[in-house]
Amino acid sequence: MKRIGCFICGALIGTTTLTLPVAAVELRVPAYTAYLDPNADGARVSQRGGVTRWTDPELKVVWFGEFKQAGEVTARLTLKLSAEAESRLKLTVAGQSRETSVRGAGSDTPVTADFGAFTIPQPGYQRFELESLNERGKPFGELETLILEGAPLADAHFNLKERRNAASVHLAYPVPTGTDIAAFYCEVTAIEDPVTTFYMACGWHRGYFGMQVNSLTERRIIFSVWDSGNEAVDRKKVVDENRVKLMGKGEGVYTGDFGNEGTGGHSHLKYLWKTGETQRFIVTAQPTNETFTIFSGYYFHPDKQEWMLISSWRAPKEGGWLRRPHSFSENFWGSTGHVVRKARYGNQWIRTPASEWIELTTATFSHDPTGRQDRLDRFMGVEDGQFFLSHGGFVAGFTQFGEKFTRPPLGKPPVLKLPASPGTAGAE
């Protein structure tokens, strides 16, 4: 007599045990989560339309996902294509390429391109790279969804949200209790420099100061100070008593307003700072009475080999010193969120109103909400005696939120001479 397992209760009825097939796991990855390579702006990517205006056969559409286990995965792609138009496509995963063709059914009717099966050879991130085999000028299709199926997808991780930015990552520097901070000094060296990156050296409770990659031909040194009050978007709504006022700026520096992240006074110097070259920043605070403080940002200009004022701003409803010194790295536009960003942050010091220098050798790691579940490729550590921050690139592993690191002390405070500015004097 055979004994058979009862599918409902699990009790043994016979001598033969039947193994049920593992249910296939399907994951639908929206086209709007993809990246474009090598030109991040070579087509249009949007939540409403997916990937559209894809006409360059040299341009690849790329998704990334992290797998916790090996195994077989099948891949299909839904897209829209005009009636009778044909799109020839190739998908490459883990070194395996599959080609297929699909014929359109009209601009409002999705069709499916079936690429078949791929083997995920080992745990880790995998790149799903889509290419068009059509000639330039022929329709490639409007991409909607990459549909994956297979057991390895049960615990796989893909970012399924429209936001494609790498997580913003931060360093917070603890300060001895009761310490007044008249100045905060920090050095930053960019190791990787993709477009839409802001490496922020000197942040404090009222502003931020650092260097930005705006395009392949433009870089900036940025110093900004927030208004008082709670307006988050439109500076035109900020009453005069809450607005920071420009007190002075350096040669060639642009000044104006900013909004959409709080509001305030913005300044920047267009300057092609160099990757791999250490950049030096210091922000100072000078209370003028119980209600105002002048905050000034100074940058050591590598070409002139001297400190220059970026700008000074009088901040209302303040009257105190710098608080909460920190640094961060930000990917401020999602089209390049798949590229690694990395910089070293070192030689951090604060100066008290009595001109005593205190070295900051400990930092705590944190990240924005994107880093909680959507983008886990975010890191901090110590390298060459400096802290580093890295994010993007879909690199396996991550640094825990709140983890503390200590760099070796240098023991020599910066020697600098700052130009005079409103509310502050040059200091050695």
- Residue 113 sits at φ, ψ, to 5 deg, of -100, 120
Direct distance between the N- and C-terminal alpha carbons of the chain, in angstroms, rounded to an integer: 96
The pLDDT tens digits of the residues spanning 378-408 come to: 999 999 999 999 999 999 999 999 999 999 9
Fold match between domain 26-155 and domain 169-406: yes
Tell me how far CA of residue 91 lies from CA of 76, 313, 347, 384, in angstroms.
10, 54, 47, 40
Q: What is the CATH number of domain 169-406?
A: 2.60.120
**How many percent of the chain have pLDDT more than 70?**
93
User: In the CATH scheme, what architecture does the domain 26-155 have?
Assistant: Sandwich (2.60)
Handedness of CA 231, 237, 239, 243 (dihedral sign): positive
The pLDDT tens digits of the residues spanning 169-190 come to: 999 999 999 999 999 999 999 9
For residue 334, give the 3-state DSSP assignment: helix
Handedness of CA 94, 95, 101, 106 (dihedral sign): positive
The first and second tokens of residue 1, run together, are 């007599």
Ramachandran assignment for 60, one of left (phi > 0), alpha (psi -120 to 50 degrees), beta (any other): beta
Domain ranges of the chain: 26-155, 169-406
The pLDDT tens digits of the residues spanning 80-96 come to: 999 989 999 999 999 99
